[in-house]
Amino acid sequence: MTSILLLLILLSGGLLSWVAGRRNARLPRWIALVALAGALSWLLAFWSQTPVGLKLTGGPWLERLSLDWIPRFGIALSFGLDGLSLILSLLALFLGLMAVVASWSEIRERTGFFYLNLLWTLAGVIGVFAALDLFLFFLFWELMLVPMYFIIALWGHGDSARAAIKFFLFTQGGGLLLLVGILILVLGHFAATGHLTFDYFALRGTALDPQIAFWAMLGLFLAFAVKLPVVTLHTWLPDAHTLAPTGGSVILAGILLKTGAYGLIRFLVPLFPQASAALAPVALGLGAAGILYGGVLAFAQSDVKRLVAYSSISHMGFVLLAVFAWNALALQGAVVQLVAHGITAAGLFMIAGSLRERLHTLDAKGMGGLWAQLPRLSALGLLFAVATLGLPGFGNFVGEILVLLGTFRDHPTAALVAVTGVVTTAIYALALVQRAFQGPPGERTGLRDYGPRETAALGLMAAVSLGLGLYPQPVLDLARPALAALPGAGG
Amino acid sequence: MSRVQLIALLPIIVAAAIPVVLILAIAARRSSRLVLALTLIGFAVVLATLTPAARVAPMQVTPLLEIDGLALFFIALVASSGAATVLFAAGDQGASQVGETEEVDAEREVGDTQGRDTDERKPEEHYVLLSLAVLGAMVLGASRHFAALFLSLELLSLSLFPLIAYRRRQPQALEAGIKYLVLSGVATGLLLFGMALLYAGIGSLELAAIGRALAASGAPGSIWILGGVTLVIAGLAMKLSLVPLHWWTPDVYQGAPTAVTGFLASVAKGAVIVVLLRLLVASDAHRQAPVMAVLAILAVLSMLTGNLLALLQDNVKRILAYSSIAHMGYLLVALLAAGELAAEAVGFYLVAYFVSTLGAFGAVALKGPGGDNITAFRGLYRRRPWLAASFALMLLSLAGIPVTAGFVGKFYLFAVGVNAALWIPVAVLVGASMIGLFYYLRIIFTLYTPPEHNVAAVPVAATGATALATLTLALIWLGAWPAPVIGLIQSALGGAF
């Protein structure tokens, strides 16, 4: 029920914003804020009611619901929440709220339509995290794209229409391959058992011909790899993240990338254990390469948003490593990494957005010495920069160290390459701080430092990141039973 | 003819009565409102007679017609589409009258008191012609004999020709009309010659008998049959505007009144698809590799060419024309696969395609003056938010995005393609769908960009708005809750195949 309720809140909130936006341009942001705050508090209440450690008799699922939808194909409206879904849904709603704050003063035109798109993207994401029917999953997977396309194309900066099309084509192309992969699996299951179903649990353990299974798995892998992104399929990301409005970047980096990781963890490996194991050497290589590649390219950027975008590629490399190492330690690390990266990347994008609003440029060369002029903004910027480089005490450190430990056990080479990537992270993060906030101050007057709204939002995010680094146990507790229930990840 | 047969034939009898009633009504009193109302009532009666007809179906009525589930399903689709077209046409004429009145006023000033376009502003014939075209499409969907097929196809095409050239003062409309007349004549010629050759080789004009003979002969036997099959496929492909027989489509679609274009792109195409489906099933063509290879090549070429050429267009009607070429290619993918699932996929995709295409062209018709160039659509979001939202939904459905009818339709196509292991067509389908996104998104993006200069909002006619709202609701209903319609299609088509 929780998932359906959240979906209803977000979808109807979006429609309400649209209708209200035609009368009053300021009303939609309040509607979006209330809808997201309501949804988030509902989910937090749901979390607080679940027993600690989740030693439930019914397995890892905190809640499940299944209604017939298209019986012709054995498609059901099947939703479920386990620890993994719950953590990522919480992250999505939290960052959605932050995206509203980030767009508060930036979005002035067509506000109703903007918040419609924002809330509907989030509805798609919540659906992706909760769907346990492959058709339903695919539906939400596609559903979150269109509003995101509009956010980038209509409210973005510069040549954003092109970036939006690129984003859409990459993800939609991946989506169609995902559909083909799902259909091969479902029809293979039908041929073997005579039972046509898209149910996740029924399809787990389908014995397909290994060669066919590999192709089907590849379809799913490509779809998720585009989203994550895996290096070689990442080229849509820097453009889309850089040219999107701040709220859009927050959602892209903070949440949408996580759907790719979620797809890998929830669907790819459990549905195709053998076929994905065959892909593991390549995928581990790509993961390690991504960590290095993203780090090196991030260092080469002078545009702050591009820098953060490339750093996302680097951080998501750790997640890919963890997925294909596929043991409990690495996967737990991946979950922490997802949350931590979501928050720090979103924070950095918000800071970049604020810099653009004030300086009308994102070129770090044109900055320098901002600490004196914008002390609060710069301090928060430093905080998120050191969080992203994995300073102990922040969530990213916990995530990376767990992933590296987990990966090292079975794949020492990949882990060693990845460790060198951590060094590049430190270099670009510190270089960013150095270029933008330190140095001689430029001749600028009348810069407005962060007011209470921005300080509160970013301070809250920093607190969550710090909390995750100092006491990650609640997240680990929540994730452990969910991950342990995945085949082969119990150890 | 027995009573039961008459009941089975009732929908077609009613449809045939509509034009007669309309002509009588026009003779008594020229009122476009009355004629519009009578046409709509006529279509409603056709839909109402489907229930008794369905109780006695399937039934052969005369050697010419077969009233089975497929025929009734298609009759329902055509009657609803006819109603939508009529409503859009009424809305479109309302909009164009605004411009024409100004023109007439200007003429009055120079002393010419007679409006030039009096005949175009009294559009009663329009409804007569359209109901004749609807009748042709219905009979086409029910024909089991080459004679019925040919007669109904001609009835459809000949009624469409004056409809396309209806605004005969516009050179583009005339060009479109002439092109359609000539090329549809060529297609008919090919088809007729093919039928003649088949008759020479087989000695029958019944689809079932021809199908049996073709299935028995295995590989195309005599030169008569080979030639006949080739020409029939070519004729049908031309009617469906499959690549490489597609070149008439964009000009005709652009020149015709927009509501008629919607009808042309949906009903006129769908009827031929039904005929093709009947021919393929009757002749067990899926066992015959050469025929399937030809169809696969046509499908692949249509998907790719249609979508690629749509990228280069700046006129929205031309974009939609090329997109319809691509959609016929998509539908062929389902026709390539045999079996119940494939027939069901064709049925559902037709419904989804009809709804989205009629809606898309309907939205263009209701947009008001300013031409059909893509720049004229800028800022439509501000002028007409609901119209722009409906149009965007129609385009998203054509692109196959959830939660729209087109999404479920595309899902069906993928399911059928993967099930039948048609890997090359499915791969092309993936690629073509991605190319398609480019131009659908381009139009939607344009709707939401600010206009170059302010254009006054023209009120949308209530008739057209009703039709578009209904289609939009149907679009979302089909996308969000397709189970009832799937059940209906299953029960309608399940027995036949």
ipTM at complex level: 0.91
Give the model's pLDDT for residue B70: 92
Whole-angstrom CA distances from A33 to A38, A112, A115 are: 8, 13, 10
Residue A58, pLDDT above cutoff 70? no
User: How far, in Å, CA of A112 to CA of B158, rounded?
Assistant: 48
Average pLDDT taken over every residue of chain A: 91
pLDDT digits (tens, 9 = 90+) for B339-389: 888 989 999 999 999 999 999 999 999 987 778 899 889 988 888 889 999
Q: Strand pairing partners for A65?
A: A79
Give the model's pLDDT for residue B116: 41
Cα B310 off chain centre by:
19
- Please state the length of chain A: 491
Among the listed ranges A264-278, A361-375, B39-53, B236-250, which one has the minimum average pLDDT value? A361-375
Q: In this complex, do B430 and A180 lie within 8 Å of one another by their Cβ atoms? A: yes
Give the model's pLDDT for residue A321: 94
Q: Which residues of chain B are within 8 Å of residue A135 when distances are taken between CB atoms?
A: 411
Residue A51, pLDDT above cutoff 70? no
Q: In this complex, do B430 and A22 lie within 8 Å of one another by their Cβ atoms? A: no
Give the model's pLDDT for residue B112: 36
Give the model's pLDDT for residue B14: 96
Whether the CB-CB separation of B203 and B215 falls below 8 Å is answered with no
**Closest Cα in chain A, distance from residue B344 (Å):** 11
A486 CB contacts (<8 Å, ≥6 apart)?
A: A265, A266, A269, A270, A331
Give the model's pLDDT for residue B137: 96
pLDDT digits (tens, 9 = 90+) for A409-467: 889 999 999 998 888 888 999 988 888 888 887 777 778 888 888 899 999 999 999 99
Give the model's pLDDT for residue B111: 37
Give the model's pLDDT for residue B460: 81
B272 CB contacts (<8 Å, ≥6 apart)?
A: B140, B153, B236, B239, B240
pLDDT digits (tens, 9 = 90+) for A242-264: 999 999 999 999 999 999 999 99
Residue B281, pLDDT above cutoff 50? yes
Sign of CA dihedral A171, A177, A179, A182: negative
The proportion of chain A whose per-residue pLDDT surpasses 70, expressed as a percent, equals 98
Residue B131, pLDDT above cutoff 50? yes
Residue B35, pLDDT above cutoff 70? yes
* Structure-model confidence comparison of residues B81 and B169, the more confident one: B81
Looking at residue A392, the DSSP 8-state letter turns out to be: T
Q: Which of B340, B384, B418, B444 to mutate to test the interface with A (most CBs of A within 10 A)?
A: B418
CA B196-B199-B205 angle, to 5 degrees, is 105
Tell me whether the omega of the peptide bond preceding residue B451 falls within 30 degrees of 0, making it cis. no
Give the model's pLDDT for residue A422: 86
Whether the CB-CB separation of B346 and B331 falls below 8 Å is answered with yes
CA-nearest residue to A124 within chain B is B402
User: How far, in Å, CA of A368 to CA of A386, rounded?
Assistant: 18
Cα A304 off chain centre by:
20
Give the model's pLDDT for residue B396: 95
For residues B19-37, average pLDDT: 92
Q: In this complex, do B426 and A168 lie within 8 Å of one another by their Cβ atoms? A: no
pLDDT digits (tens, 9 = 90+) for B424-433: 999 999 999 9
Residue B95, pLDDT above cutoff 80? no
Nearest-10 Cα torsion for B313, B317, B318, B321: 130
Residue A298, pLDDT above cutoff 50? yes
Give the model's pLDDT for residue B105: 40
Q: Which residues of chain A are within 8 Å of residue B418 when distances are taken between CB atoms?
A: 180, 183-184, 187
**Residue A204: what residue type?**
R
Of the candidates A456, A469, A397, the residue with the CA atom closest to the CA atom of residue A426: A397
User: How far, in Å, CA of B350 to CA of A440, rounded?
Assistant: 67
Give the model's pLDDT for residue B109: 39
Give the model's pLDDT for residue A223: 96
Q: What is the DSSP string of B66-98?
A: EE-HHHHHHHHHHHHHHHHHHHHHHHHHHHHHH
User: How far, in Å, CA of A370 to CA of B37, rounded?
Assistant: 72
Residue B121, pLDDT above cutoff 80? no
Which residue is it, tokens 């359906």?
A4
Q: Which residues of B touch A (CB under 8 A)?
A: 381, 385, 396, 401-403, 407, 411, 414-415, 418-419, 426, 430, 433-434, 437-438, 441, 445, 448-449, 481-483, 486-487, 490
Give the model's pLDDT for residue B57: 79
Q: In this complex, do A173 and B430 lie within 8 Å of one another by their Cβ atoms? A: yes
User: How far, in Å, CA of B399 to CA of A110, rounded?
Assistant: 24
Q: In this complex, do B419 and A183 lie within 8 Å of one another by their Cβ atoms? A: yes
User: How far, in Å, CA of A22 to CA of B301, rounded?
Assistant: 45
Among the listed ranges A403-407, B30-34, B127-131, which one has the minimum average pLDDT value? B30-34
Give the model's pLDDT for residue A444: 76
Give the model's pLDDT for residue A54: 53
Q: In this complex, do A183 and B437 lie within 8 Å of one another by their Cβ atoms? A: no
- Model confidence at B107, pLDDT cuts 50, 70, 90, reads very low
Whether the CB-CB separation of A297 and A242 falls below 8 Å is answered with no
Q: What are the domain boundaries of chain A?
A: 276-491
Q: In this complex, do A154 and B483 lie within 8 Å of one another by their Cβ atoms? A: no
Residue B114, pLDDT above cutoff 50? no
CA-nearest residue to A144 within chain B is B402
Residue A29, pLDDT above cutoff 60? yes
Give the model's pLDDT for residue A491: 46
**Closest Cα in chain B, distance from residue A241 (Å):** 19
**Residue A199: what residue type?**
D
Whether the CB-CB separation of A124 and A89 falls below 8 Å is answered with no
For residues B31-42, average pLDDT: 92
Angle between helices A27-49 and A83-103 (to 10 degrees): 160
Among the listed ranges A346-350, B224-228, B455-459, which one has the minimum average pLDDT value? B455-459
Q: Which residues of chain B are within 8 Å of residue A113 when distances are taken between CB atoms?
A: 381, 448
Give the model's pLDDT for residue A382: 93
Whether the CB-CB separation of A10 and A122 falls below 8 Å is answered with yes
Give the model's pLDDT for residue B122: 63
Among the listed ranges A111-115, B443-447, B449-453, which one has the minimum average pLDDT value? B449-453
Give the model's pLDDT for residue A141: 95
CB pairs under 8 A between A and B: 70
